[in-house]
Structure 1
Amino acid sequence: MQRLGSDGGSAVTRVRVAGGVLLVAHLAIVAWITLRPLDVPWVSAANLRPFAGIRADIALGPEVAVRRIAAGLGLLAPLGALLPMAGGRLTVSPLGSLLRTMTAGALLSLGIELLQTGVPGQVVDIDSIMLNTLGVTLAHLAIVPAARGSLRRRVETWHRAAVLREEPAQGRTPTIPRVGIAP
């Protein structure tokens, strides 16, 4: 079995390392945004009814609704690409990858909401969990299949080039004239 050439193997490693670094940086920013105490004169009650917060945002007007819904979708959306990138798998079931990423996004969003219960000024909102998970899912569907395919083609090209460099073309196998078989 032929091993990957140095370029193909290191490309996957570079993607995995870059994904891990970007993932840690993004999670640090998310933690700062969502878990810092806010100095507010009053705090609304926790929203545990699905879509109640979204309906309230829509009632405030289209500009407010679009801004708040986009913020909910965009907060954890980069995880849709960064989690598979940090995993570094090139050949994986697309559905399995999507389900793993969605689950991780939902659990991370739930963890953030649970941590917010102890932070002054922050309120638990079930709609945030739904919007964050949807954002992760949409980002994954938009980016990961194309990026994986591109990287897979690049690694295959590097692999073919490495095989051509390592195995020079050979002529016919010499035979022994008296016996008529190859050594």
Structure 2
Amino acid sequence: MQRHGPGERATFPLRATGLVLLVAHLLTVGWLTLRPLSLPWVAAANLRPLATIRTELARGPWEAAQSLGPWLLLLAPLGVLLPVVTGRLGGSLLGAFAHTVFTGAMVSLGIELLQTDVPGRTLDVDSLVLNTTGVGVAYLLLTPPLRAWIRRKDDGVPSAHPSREEASQGATPTIHRVGIAP
């Protein structure tokens, strides 16, 4: 018999909604990152970690935020959508974090590798770093409150499908006129 932990009973509608949002987000990301660009020149591929980030930070904080922010935000929704879709909201926080960040890194790596064949796009290892960081930060900021909300929701709602033991024993009897002994 399969046991359901906190946060697992009420997640089917949440998981279905998360799956729809995940597919829509990945299609949007694919359209934004894999369409050809017509540019007069294209920068060379960057295979040195943190080279682009250092260059942008040297330009100043506002310019760095404007150029690096979109890379942080591009895959950030995966930090919430992946745990929702995979049902990892009720399990270990550290294990779910590692799974989510690894999956986000693999999605980002796939996008970067696919971009090598798209005209006007080049490989930049720093976008992989920033995309993965965005997934991790979104997970750390948004998943714990979502887990707490689901647990509160589950604690207040009785199960629609009681376990076999609960069904065979019936409801717990209540005696109203019994006081507490000294």
* Same topology, TM > 0.5: yes
After the TM superposition, which parts of structure 1 deviate over 2 Å for at least 4 consecutive aligned residues?
58-64, 88-91, 159-163, 166-172
Does the Cα contact within 8 Å between 2:53 and 2:68 map onto a contact in 1? yes
Corresponding residue for residue 128 of structure 2: 129
Once the two structures are TM-superposed, the CA of residue 152 in structure 1 deviates from its matched residue by: 1.7
Q: Which moved more, 1:135-144 or 1:85-94?
A: 85-94
| Structure showing greater Rg | 1
Alignment-derived partner of residue 23 in structure 2: 24
Question: Partners in 2 of 1:162 and 1:24 — Cα distance?
Answer: 30
* Rounded Cα–Cα distance in structure 2 between residues aligned with 1:169 and 1:62: 63
What TM-score do you get using the length of structure 1 for normalisation? 0.81
Work out the CA distance in 2 between the residues paired with 1:17 and 1:160.
19
Distance 2:174 2:33 in 1: 67
The secondary structure found in structure 2 opposite 1:159 is: coil
Letter in 2 for 1:158: V
Tell me, in whole angstroms, the C-alpha distance in 2 between the residues paired with 1:95 and 1:162. Answer: 30
SS of 2:157's equivalent? Answer: helix
**In 2: Cα distance, 1:59 partner to 1:90 partner:** 39
Give per-residue Cα distances to partners, 1:42-70, cap 9 Å, x unaligned: 10100000111112223444332111111
| Mapped contact 2:89–2:143 kept (Cα < 8 A) | no
**1:76-91 correspondence runs (5 A):** 76-91=75-90
* Percent of matched pairs sharing the same residue: 49
* Structure 2 length-normalised TM: 0.82
SS in 1 for 2:158: helix
Letter in 1 for 2:36: P
Aligned to 1:115: 114
Equivalent residues of 1:15, 1:88 under 8 A apart: no
Q: How many residues align?
A: 166
Name the aligned partner's letter for residue 55 of structure 1: R
Task: Tell me the residue number matched to 2:158.
Answer: 159
Corresponding residue for residue 147 of structure 2: 148
Contact map agreement 1:90 1:152 (CA 8 A) in 2: no
**In structure 1, C-alpha distance between the alignment counterparts of 2:12 and 2:50, rounded to whole Å:** 41
Q: Which runs of 5+ in 2 are unaligned?
A: 176-182
Aligned to 2:76, the other structure's residue is in SS state coil
Aligned residue runs from structure 1 range 46-65, under 5 A = 46-65=45-64
CA contact (8 A) 2:77 2:138 kept: yes
Which amino acid in the other structure matches residue 34 of structure 1? T
Amino acid at match of 1:56: T
